[in-house]
Amino acid sequence: MALKVGVIGACGRMGRNICAYVSAEEGLELVAAYDKSFTGEDIGLLIGAKENGVLVAKRVEDILDKNKVDVIIDFTIAQAAIENIPKVLAAGINVVVGTTGIGDDKWQEYDKLAKENNVGIFFAANYAIGAVLMMQFAEQAAKYMPHVEVIELHHDKKLDAPSGTAVTTLKRMAAVRGEMAQGNPEEYEKIAGSRGGEYQGMRVHSVRLPGYVAHQEVIFGGVGQTLTIRHDSLSRESFMPGIMLAAKKVVTFKGLVRDLDNIL
């Protein structure tokens, strides 16, 4: 029997892609959609497919019926997700989250709430398989080449910086690298922020320009050499296989599971 899926943020760029893929994915069925835009319209027509009778709900509460929905997928913005996620979990519905910018204290709260309601919640900063490999390779390299900087590049509509992928990459490298200073201790910025953000001695730089989707390079420096590990999502389709997998897996969890590595 197919898992019944609802999508929050269904009419955004990611949301429409998710709805289209859920509709076509074996083992999943799109049964509900919520967005602040296009309320009352048929989501099938909005994603360029046939009319399917799933109308965009006016309120998120209108799609939270555990007898009708098995999994909710939320790809919105942090402010909205922070309101939505507790409602979904309290309704006894599993949830897959792709929204970044949510603090660690909130994830602890959601883990507890999911366990209390006997459901699963899954979060990944990036659902592209190549991005997962990029983070794994960076973590391995940081053991041997601890001088490193991260450059992440996204479309100019992205609100948070650095990206969730960059933050996850930095944390994973820090766990094996340890905190250390790098660069000239006497360096100074002629323009504030020129050296980017700093995390345990590592620098991170965020680029926001039209034309990009989601991209990241991790640059390591050593004696007489550099190593660059780069991943490029050229379209939002790159995230879809990971999201579909998460939607199928989350119903087997109780509480919070993070990162695509743990379900591949």
CATH class of 3-123+237-262: alpha beta
pLDDT tens for residues 184-234? 999 999 999 999 999 999 999 999 999 999 999 999 999 999 999 999 999
Q: In this model, does residue 103 exceed pLDDT 90? A: no
What is the overall mean pLDDT for the chain?
94
Write down the pLDDT at residue 99.
87
pLDDT band at 87 (very low <50, low <70, confident <90, very high): very high
* Backbone dihedral angles phi then psi of residue 47, each to the nearest 5 degrees: -100, 10
Active site residues: 154, 158
Cα–Cα distance measured from residue 94 to residue 114, given in angstroms and rounded to the nearest whole number: 8
129-233: CATH topology is Dihydrodipicolinate Reductase; domain 2 (3.30.360)
Domain residue ranges in the chain: 3-123+237-262, 129-233
Q: In this model, does residue 139 exceed pLDDT 90? A: yes
pLDDT tens for residues 231-245? 999 999 999 999 999
Over range 151-155, report the average pLDDT. Answer: 97
pLDDT band at 26 (very low <50, low <70, confident <90, very high): very high
Q: In this model, does residue 159 exceed pLDDT 90? A: no
Measured N-to-C along each axis, helices 104-116 and 78-90 cross at an angle, to the nearest 10 degrees, of 20
Over range 144-173, report the average pLDDT. Answer: 95
Q: Sheet of 3-8: strands edge to edge?
A: 56-57, 28-34, 3-8, 71-74, 94-97, 120-123, 255-258
Residue type at position 11: C
